A and B are shown apart, each in its own frame.
Chain A
């Protein structure tokens, strides 16, 4: 079985589902037998889900419209 260090080296691609089937199989085997890497994998997946679905840094439409309106008004007015 691969070591935790080897698992960690492949971890980024594993999260992004970019590994080959053969490598993925090895990583899954490791996760199934290593408690620490299991926690790492599970909690990182949850982190990505939470961040992705958080709606963070949404610029409210009213604010966005206000900025764009100011800019276009300035452009319509021409060079000052």
Chain B
């Protein structure tokens, strides 16, 4: 028996049949997850696509990777199973011993040893992977498809290893002795042989080419995330692996019958932060924003969830997840007992472990493929410092670090204003008066009323200045004050049109109707003031949610990420609304600028 309860599943259960046919046995690692058959199906999809068949690299190459990573993690369960599988593929005991022995490895080619060294580096410390490592593999003859599969199998080793620690399954076979605590880097290959000419290895990301694949392929993630992350777009060389990952997302992350989506996103965020994976941290911060969590709270979960406003139980769940995902050598069955004591069910604990496994799979893939960020990191570049390994608060002294130190050009004046210096406050609001005014126009849709509301907003900002804690930029905070002021006025006239909501599908149905070509330089036929009036009328005619985004992005010229923070929306929502707003403006302007319209400059 494993750490968690199990139920009987018939041997005809699809994934069991697949493993029986491919390996000759059904691993106890799968049987330990019978409380949630859908998560077994997810793992089976990943293993079927990436492990259980020949691909760009051979079955034996894949099993070697799984074995050596498992041995490196001191994972006796996976080593025993890997040993049996390699034997069944015709690899001799001596060859397996060689793999696990640092001193010799005569039957493995230099290219395969280089590959194993890469996998160990990726498994041990993924952030240290660079384009040079990929170039080294290419120098040994690995093509992009082989490299992608190599990274995928290493990620799969992380998935399996995480579950092996968290579930404590009964061994499928007798143990295989692991001689060293950590497997040494292979193994007769000098390190310099792996390094290419540094001048030829540009730090180019992503590391592999990714041919175009129709957006329809990504419909699952389009629905769940509201956009298609680069994480998936970067793997289009292997649609079969991609499909397995999308299925895993569908079966593990989307159902809400056990843990909520917010709990799962918090787990993904906290463990990604522990793994120093800024790509995934930015992604899950954004997804949490879409689920209603404020940007500041999401940042706080990433930096130190102990200081967040999550419930005590949810913080304990994250302690459990981070220990399993990041400090796995400290994990024991006692950690499961603690969660049970707090009221978590067996299914919830199992799902948490599977989410952590999926997270470590994703973190490994992202680092191994050098996938470029979809968003700016939380609070902008280098502004949130992720700690190397999050520890429980008692290990860090009484006061844990809070989310402070946001680099803000206004910081000096803000401190003076908070100390009571009115001139500093005056200077601050002069700096940002256009931004405040445009935010008010964006929501109120009335320039005259916006001027009136501006006075209220500034008085309100001064009144609440002491409460500003530098957890965001001062300008962001000012806009939030302006936004609240504007919504108060709208409520007063009972015309509240919320900025919230993630109506991706509804928004995507919009299609342009005007298809006449525009003139080459259409603005030359109008005076500047005519153009301005035309644009202003068009923008004021937009529904609030589109107007707000267009105003801040195209008039105020903030970045998409900045607009998302200012309006408390996710980046994908901003992008969808920006496109629609621009297209609506295009429809409005078209009759004035198409080739059939001719008029002289007035």
What is A's interface to B at a CB cutoff of 8 Å? 2, 6, 8-13, 15-16, 20, 22-23, 25-26, 36, 39-40, 42-44, 46-48, 50-59, 63-65, 67-68, 70-72, 74-76
Q: Is the CB of A56 within 8 A of B575?
A: no
Complex: chain B residue closest to A26, CB-CB? B212
Instruction: Jot down 7 A-B pairs with beta carbons below 8 A, ordered by A.
Output: A12-B575, A26-B212, A50-B535, A51-B582, A54-B536, A57-B438, A64-B437
Complex: chain B residue closest to A71, CB-CB? B458
Q: Report which of B455, B516, B532 forms a contact with A71, defined as CB distance below 8 A.
A: B455
Q: Given the interface contacts A47-B585, A51-B554, does A68 sit within 8 Å of B458 by beta carbon?
A: yes
A52 vs B518: C-alpha distance when bound (angstroms):
18
Which residues does chain B contribute within 8 Å of A15, judged by CB atoms?
579, 582
Which residues does chain A contribute within 8 Å of B437, judged by CB atoms?
57, 59, 64
Q: Report which of A46, A51, A72, A76 forms a contact with B593, defined as CB distance below 8 A.
A: A46
Interface of B is mostly: helix
CB distance from A30 to the nearest CB of B (A): 10
Q: Given the interface contacts A12-B576, A22-B211, A68-B429, does A44 sit within 8 Å of B582 by beta carbon?
A: yes
Q: Given the interface contacts A22-B211, A40-B515, A71-B458, does A16 sit within 8 Å of B585 by beta carbon?
A: no
Residue interface mask B409-445, A partner, CB < 8 A = 1: 0000000000000100110011001100110010000
A51 vs B550: C-alpha distance when bound (angstroms):
9
Q: Is the CB of B422 within 8 A of A75?
A: yes
A44 vs B512: C-alpha distance when bound (angstroms):
10
CB distance from A25 to the nearest CB of B (A): 7
Tell whether B462 is near chain A: CB-to-CB under 8 Å: yes
Complex: chain A residue closest to B230, CB-CB? A20
Which residues does chain B contribute within 8 Å of A46, judged by CB atoms?
518, 522, 593
Which residues does chain B contribute within 8 Å of A36, judged by CB atoms?
515
Which residues does chain B contribute within 8 Å of A56, judged by CB atoms?
532, 535-536, 539, 555
Complex: chain A residue closest to B236, CB-CB? A22
What is B's interface to A at a CB cutoff of 8 Å? 206, 209-212, 214-216, 230, 233-234, 236, 422, 425-426, 429-430, 433-434, 437-438, 441, 447, 451, 454-455, 458-459, 462, 508, 511-512, 514-518, 522-523, 528, 531-532, 535-536, 539, 550-551, 554-555, 557, 560, 575-576, 578-579, 582-583, 585-586, 589-590, 593
A56 vs B532: C-alpha distance when bound (angstroms):
5
Q: Is the CB of B512 within 8 A of A40?
A: yes
Q: Is the CB of B579 within 8 A of A12?
A: yes
Q: Report which of B236, B425, B447, B535 forms a contact with A51, defined as CB distance below 8 A.
A: B535
Q: Report which of B438, B441, B522, B555 forms a contact with A52, defined as CB distance below 8 A.
A: B555
Q: Given the interface contacts A20-B233, A39-B517, A47-B589, does A76 sit within 8 Å of B422 by beta carbon?
A: yes
Q: A50-B531, A54-B531 are in contact. List 7 more A-B contacts (CB 8 A).
A: A6-B214, A6-B215, A40-B512, A43-B517, A57-B447, A64-B437, A72-B426
